Amino acid sequence: MDDIRFAVLGTGGIGRRALEVSQAKQGLTPVAACDRHGIAVDHDGLDVDELLAATEGNVASAADRREAADGRAATGESREPQTDGGTATVKQHGEQAGVVASAQARPTETPIADTIAESDAIDAVLIALPNLEHDFIPEVAAEFAAADYKGVLVDVLKRSRVIGLLDERPDAFEESGITFVCGAGATPGFLTGAAALAAQSFVEVEAVDIHWGVGLQSGYEDNRGTVREDIAHLPGYDNESARDLSDDEIEAIVDDHNGVIEFEDMEHADDVLLERAGICDAADVTVGGVLDVRNDEKPTTTTVTVTGKTFDGERATNTFELGDETSMAANVNGPALGYLKAGVRRNRAGEYGVFGPADLMPGF
Amino acid sequence: MDDIRFAVLGTGGIGRRALEVSQAKQGLTPVAACDRHGIAVDHDGLDVDELLAATEGNVASAADRREAADGRAATGESREPQTDGGTATVKQHGEQAGVVASAQARPTETPIADTIAESDAIDAVLIALPNLEHDFIPEVAAEFAAADYKGVLVDVLKRSRVIGLLDERPDAFEESGITFVCGAGATPGFLTGAAALAAQSFVEVEAVDIHWGVGLQSGYEDNRGTVREDIAHLPGYDNESARDLSDDEIEAIVDDHNGVIEFEDMEHADDVLLERAGICDAADVTVGGVLDVRNDEKPTTTTVTVTGKTFDGERATNTFELGDETSMAANVNGPALGYLKAGVRRNRAGEYGVFGPADLMPGF
């Protein structure tokens, strides 16, 4: 495939790892990266090593996160590494935390508008922002559409209901020329695609079960936003209440679970993404998992099982398992960039609108 | 997806099962089916039940197969059900064996030309013909290109070297407007796609191992052509020598193996299809399997393992397993139609040329 110039919105755990993984991929040139305070642009290709070294462990604070969630900042990044007391212990370069620590970056109050201003030379944008407000990522996408961006947007959002918000905007995406690939991380994303492929043996899919294991000891500091979003899936919590938890409260929840938190029947968009691809009913999809923030070893093997009936009347289960040594970061960012490439191909062929991972697989 | 009108070239085991599976799928209307002696066309949709009932166990003879292999017939179908002695024991309707047994069919000497004549109203053609001559399917494709067919061609070919023959013709396909999806059965096809997806955890793929199990007792009569093609993969045989084996000789080989034939290091196009998609070197792909023609139970579980390195330096193995209850027919024809749908989408967007299964997955 021809070279793809891409930008990353958000330079937290996912954004930075996406930049890193792209270095090992063919045909991907990162040309812009921003967080709420700054933006780095180089159309000849960012110096990713410099950017990572400057920003590692150096992202926006909890106060910034709440500001973003309140809608007072254009772009937010909640994967903030902090001590329990909320005081940033990370190294600080430049005048502010975040991407401006990189010598390639400059401060800005309007990072998304600044990215859009460069977008004639950007083929794809990975939206690696937290989505603690359900309409945050759809609103970001709407800004790109309003600016007549022609290209690909990819997000790694998780919640089923967000897909509906995106699906309300196909006209804006099509008029602008946007191919929006939604839910393109690990789950939904990688595992949704695996379910879609595993379904190919069947003429009727009866049940899809996605069960993930994540060991996040060494990645915990860099992925607190993800942990917070996961806690929002626990009984008694939702995005709003999880957003308002102090870091101490998060730690207390983690302690209550001895560092190992189990999730059942999560609201993960795999369900609606498989339904809209015609593979099964959303109700037939279950997602659960086990998160261990005190070990890197996975507490359970990440497994997708798809049970269905074949045309010749048999019932069977196809299975997809990820090796336990694969980290969450590997399973989010590889597929995110893989779907980004698939999205660019679609975009260049003139296919616009909203695509889920299963739409980028063989048809069912 | 909008409705797809498709034709099947060849009404042997694969062609007939593809028609059957399509009945359980959304958006697929079979409008033509042919073998070397006849063609059935109905642009409002074939009556598949009638066609299957009329032709089940009623396909062309060994003499026809050899005729086709010698190039004297335009389209061949080698999955002939016969007794050991070579005498057809199948029911015979109409004046000839094959598709003309259907009330919807008429005899023809030029089935491919007749299909091409209808192709303005055909979106996709599944080429379910044996390929005992390596250039047979490429030549069929060339006929469609020469006639300026605009649409999708899908084949379920197996041999690595055939991909090269197809790749020599991209200009003809692009000028005509053909999206050729090659190797879109079970393996290569379904399992190639699974390997491409499983690779997404990794930045470097070190090994892909595809190991299949097929139990074919009840499908044996209908799939002798497939068994013959498999025997061509055994040490000491090739396509030419396998083609020339009498049915008695085939039975003797099966007897020598007590009905269970193991294959190692097969020349299966998974290798070149993964390499051309940039996922790994062809040399890192191994394909083997076990065929049991005396049991329907699989002699081994069909498994794809992909071993690679993650961006963060781990080595791991991702695994895809098919449920033992899924038949070869389910795992060939579901994916073939799934890739056909993906091909039609590409074709309608104006993407022409040769695509392997891995090209229709997220990019690597």
Annotated binding-site residues of B for NAD(+) read: 10-14, 225-226
The yes-or-no verdict on residue A349 having pLDDT over 80 is yes
A345: which chain B residues are within 8 Å (Cβ-Cβ)? Answer: 351, 363
A317: which chain B residues are within 8 Å (Cβ-Cβ)? Answer: 323
Q: Do A322 and B361 touch (CB under 8 A)?
A: no
- Contact (CB, 8 A) for B257 and B234: no
Angstrom CA distances, A1 to A329, B148, B243, B292, B357, stand at 24, 26, 39, 41, 16
B340: which chain A residues are within 8 Å (Cβ-Cβ)? Answer: 363
Beta strand spans in A236-361 (E): 260-263, 285-292, 303-309, 315-321, 353-355
d(C-alpha A324, C-alpha B350), whole Å = 41
Q: Do A200 and B334 touch (CB under 8 A)?
A: yes
d(C-alpha B188, C-alpha B214), whole Å = 15
The yes-or-no verdict on residue A85 having pLDDT over 50 is no
Q: Do A202 and B330 touch (CB under 8 A)?
A: yes
Contacts of B256 (CB under 8 A, 6+ apart): none
Residues 138-157, chain B, touching A (beta carbon < 8 A):
none
d(C-alpha B112, C-alpha A139), whole Å = 53
The pLDDT assigned to B359 comes to: 96
Higher pLDDT, A134 or A87: A134
d(C-alpha A45, C-alpha A30), whole Å = 5
A351: which chain B residues are within 8 Å (Cβ-Cβ)? Answer: 345, 349
The yes-or-no verdict on residue A82 having pLDDT over 50 is no
End-to-end CA distance of chain B: 26
The yes-or-no verdict on residue A306 having pLDDT over 80 is yes
The first and second tokens of residue A94, run together, are 């430049």
The yes-or-no verdict on residue B87 having pLDDT over 50 is no
The pLDDT assigned to B159 comes to: 85
A193: which chain B residues are within 8 Å (Cβ-Cβ)? Answer: 197, 361-362
Q: Residue A342, CB half-sphere, CA atoms under 13 Å: how many?
A: 34
The pLDDT assigned to A224 comes to: 78
B318: which chain A residues are within 8 Å (Cβ-Cβ)? Answer: 320-323, 326
B47 inside 8 A of chain A by CB: no
Annotation-wise, does A10 bind a ligand? Answer: yes
pLDDT interval class at B73 (50, 70, 90): very low
Closest CA to A183 of A195, A172, A175, A171: A195
Closest CA to A128 of A139, A119, A137: A137
Instruction: For residue A321, give how far its alpha carbon lies from the nearest alpha carbon of chain B (Å).
Output: 5
The pLDDT assigned to A240 comes to: 85
Q: Do A322 and B338 touch (CB under 8 A)?
A: no
pLDDT interval class at A130 (50, 70, 90): confident
Least-confidence region, from A136-150, A255-269, B85-99, B230-244: B85-99
**Of residues A202, A331, A337, nearest to B334 (C-beta):** A202
pLDDT interval class at A13 (50, 70, 90): confident
Mean pLDDT of A233-262: 91
The pLDDT assigned to A132 comes to: 64
Least-confidence region, from A1-5, A221-225, A306-310, B40-44: A221-225
Instruction: For residue B183, give how far its alpha carbon lies from the nearest alpha carbon of chain A (Å).
Output: 13
**Of residues A17, A311, A334, nearest to B21 (C-beta):** A311
- State which H helix or E strand residue A239 sits in: helix A239-243
Among the options A37, A158, A211, A268, which is catalytic?
A: A158
Mean pLDDT of B331-350: 97
Average model confidence (pLDDT) across chain A? 88
**Of residues B17, B193, B315, nearest to A197 (C-beta):** B193
The pLDDT assigned to B228 comes to: 86
The pLDDT assigned to A162 comes to: 87
Task: Calculate helix-pair angle for B13-22, B328-348, nearest 10 degrees.
Answer: 70
Q: Residue type at B281? A: D
The yes-or-no verdict on residue B229 having pLDDT over 90 is no
The pLDDT assigned to A70 comes to: 42
The pLDDT assigned to A339 comes to: 98
d(C-alpha A96, C-alpha A52), whole Å = 16
A361 inside 8 A of chain B by CB: yes
d(C-alpha B336, C-alpha B193), whole Å = 12
Cis bond leading into A138, ω under 30°? no
Cβ atoms within 10 Å, residue B91: 12
Pairing type for strands B38-41 and B285-292 reads: unpaired
- Domains of chain B (ranges; CATH) run 4-187+330-360 (3.40.50.720), 198-325 (3.30.360)
The pLDDT assigned to A58 comes to: 67
Q: What is this model's ipTM?
A: 0.90
d(C-alpha A308, C-alpha A355), whole Å = 24
Task: For residue B317, give the chain A residue with the closest CA.
Answer: A323
Annotation-wise, does A177 bind a ligand? Answer: no
Residues 251-290, chain B, touching A (beta carbon < 8 A):
278
B201: which chain A residues are within 8 Å (Cβ-Cβ)? Answer: 190, 322-323, 326, 330-331, 334
The first and second tokens of residue B163, run together, are 């991909």
Mean pLDDT of A180-193: 96
Contacts of B36 (CB under 8 A, 6+ apart): B60, B64, B67, B68, B73, B74, B75, B76, B77, B98, B111
Instruction: For residue B143, give how far its alpha carbon lies from the nearest alpha carbon of chain A (Å).
Output: 26
- Contact (CB, 8 A) for B253 and B231: yes
Tally of residues, chain A: 364
The pLDDT assigned to A324 comes to: 97
What percent of chain B is modeled with pLDDT above 70?
Answer: 88
A278: which chain B residues are within 8 Å (Cβ-Cβ)? Answer: 26
Residues 285-324, chain A, touching B (beta carbon < 8 A):
310-312, 314-324
Helix (H, G, I), strand (E, B) or coil at B5: strand
The yes-or-no verdict on residue B208 having pLDDT over 90 is yes
- Contact (CB, 8 A) for A268 and A188: yes
**Which of B311, B332, B339, B364 should one mutate to test binding to chain A, selecting the residue with the greatest count of A CBs within 10 A?**
B311
**Of residues B322, B324, B362, nearest to A339 (C-beta):** B362
| A158: annotated active-site residue | yes
A331 inside 8 A of chain B by CB: yes
To 5 degrees, how large is the angle CA B63–CA B39–CA B218?
60
pLDDT interval class at B161 (50, 70, 90): confident
Mean pLDDT of A80-93: 36
Q: Do A329 and B312 touch (CB under 8 A)?
A: yes
Higher pLDDT, B342 or B82: B342
B217: which chain A residues are within 8 Å (Cβ-Cβ)? Answer: none
Residues 9-38, chain B, touching A (beta carbon < 8 A):
17, 20-21, 24-26
Question: Tell me: the pLDDT tens digits for B292-308?
Answer: 999 999 999 999 999 99
The pLDDT assigned to B226 comes to: 80
Least-confidence region, from A30-34, A329-333, B74-78, B162-166: B74-78
Q: Residue type at B141? A: A
- Contact (CB, 8 A) for B202 and B362: no
The pLDDT assigned to A102 comes to: 94
The yes-or-no verdict on residue B251 having pLDDT over 80 is yes
Task: For residue A324, give the chain B residue with the closest CA.
Answer: B316
The pLDDT assigned to A325 comes to: 96
**Of residues A200, A278, A310, nearest to B190 (C-beta):** A200
**Of residues B204, B351, B362, nearest to A342 (C-beta):** B362
Question: Tell me: the pLDDT tens digits for B43-72?
Answer: 999 999 999 999 887 655 444 444 444 443
Phi, psi of B47 (to 5 degrees): -85, 95
The yes-or-no verdict on residue B353 having pLDDT over 70 is yes
Q: Residue type at A40? A: A
The pLDDT assigned to B220 comes to: 78
Mean pLDDT of B310-333: 97
Task: For residue B319, give the chain A residue with the closest CA.
Answer: A321
To 5 degrees, how large is the angle CA B147–CA B153–CA B156?
135
**Which of B179, B216, B281, B310 should one mutate to test binding to chain A, selecting the residue with the greatest count of A CBs within 10 A?**
B310
The yes-or-no verdict on residue B78 having pLDDT over 80 is no
Helix (H, G, I), strand (E, B) or coil at A44: coil
Q: Do A21 and B342 touch (CB under 8 A)?
A: no
B191 inside 8 A of chain A by CB: no
A237 inside 8 A of chain B by CB: no
d(C-alpha A27, C-alpha A5), whole Å = 8
Instruction: For residue A246, give how far its alpha carbon lies from the nearest alpha carbon of chain B (Å).
Output: 31
